[in-house]
Amino acid sequence: MELVDVAVIGAGPVGLFSVFSCGMMGLKCCVIESMDEVGGQCSELYPEKPICNLPGHQSILAKDLIVSVKGQIAQFSPIFVTGQRAVSLERDEAGERFIITASNGAIVSAMSVIIAVGAGAFSPRKLPAEGACKLEGKSLFYSIKDKKKFNGKRIVVIGGGDPVVDWSIALSHIASRVSVVHRRDTFRAYQGNIARMNDLVGRGKISVYTPFSVKEMFYDDEALSTKIILSRAGIVGEGGSSCNTIAIETDYALAFLGSESDMGEIKNWGLSMQRNKIEVSQATCETNVSGVYAVGDCALYDNKLTLLMTGFCESIQAAYSISKKIRPDTSSKKACFFS
């Protein structure tokens, strides 16, 4: 049994920064992470994605952010339990500590718990196009682990959220051609980045196809490339008329259609939840279960902004609240580290 002050569930960037926040308050942490490596989606789905909304960084790759935060928390010697899910949360017999059991039977005893699981266990939403499954891992990808493979290549980016806009901008500097396909005319991304993408469209660096959906994709042996058939969204052309369909030849296709997530056993812990998120007090990030906190994308309160910086701030709020509860005589002194 690992005996600590705080059990942090989830080792994405916000979970890791929660260790730093707790460490600055003099609190010892154990981190439970379902994946084999720490970093969450920053490591698993988009390690090469540039993050441009953090103070002090014009741009930092997601994988480099994780390396930086890991170095930042090393001074506090956190305990890591990786490749294991936190399956149960109970009070001990005295009601003073939480007992968290991992899927391999490992047990962590903690005074408080910080849940930082993002949207939960995730997997990328697959492209529902004919022939797409046959090209997965060959010319169709749902994440970018090494963007160097796209140097000088023709790229089609599919979707309409922030990853699509971010990656279309980033790849336009190294690819021979970038085409963006979205089933709507508008994109769900930061306005500043949409403006940057539109500027690149005007300069001929990016082509945008809206409103179009991917109908079919297949490998063209003669052209030695992948052919993508687009259909105008919401319109079914008679006999697949040319005015409603477009064919694009490309080397690689990248689909960023969001992810399918599951909060798993956390849903059974008696926490108040809405829309697969955990309701918390905005001031402290404490849930309806005293001593259990939620931060980052999994936390919900009125007017919540789902930003990385928001999660970092929430981790400080939670750590300070925990410190006041379990070490009231030192919490105000420790809080000065953040001033």
Binding site for FAD, by residue number, is 33, 41, 46, 86, 122, 297
Binding-site sequence positions:
33, 41, 46, 86, 122, 297
Distance CA 282, CA 274 (A): 15
Given a contact cutoff of 8 angstroms between Cβ atoms, the answer to whether 30 and 244 are in contact is no
Cross-strand bridge partners of residue 51: 60
Q: Which of 117, 175, 148, 135 is nearest to 255 (CA)?
A: 135
Beta strands in 159-291 (DSSP E): 177-181, 206-209, 212-220, 225-232, 245-250, 252-255, 259-262, 273-274, 277-279
CA distance 9 to 315: 12
Q: Which two tokens stand for residue 276?
A: 């697969």
CA nearest neighbour of 287 among 260, 266, 308: 266
Q: What is the DSSP letter of 297?
A: G
Q: Closest by alpha carbon to 86, among 99, 109, 103? A: 103
Exposed / middle / buried, residue 207 (Cβ in 10 Å: 0-12, 13-18, 19+): middle
CA torsion angle 295 300 302 308 (round to 10):
50
Query: What does DSSP say about strands 107-115 and 121-124: parallel, antiparallel, or unpaired?
Result: unpaired
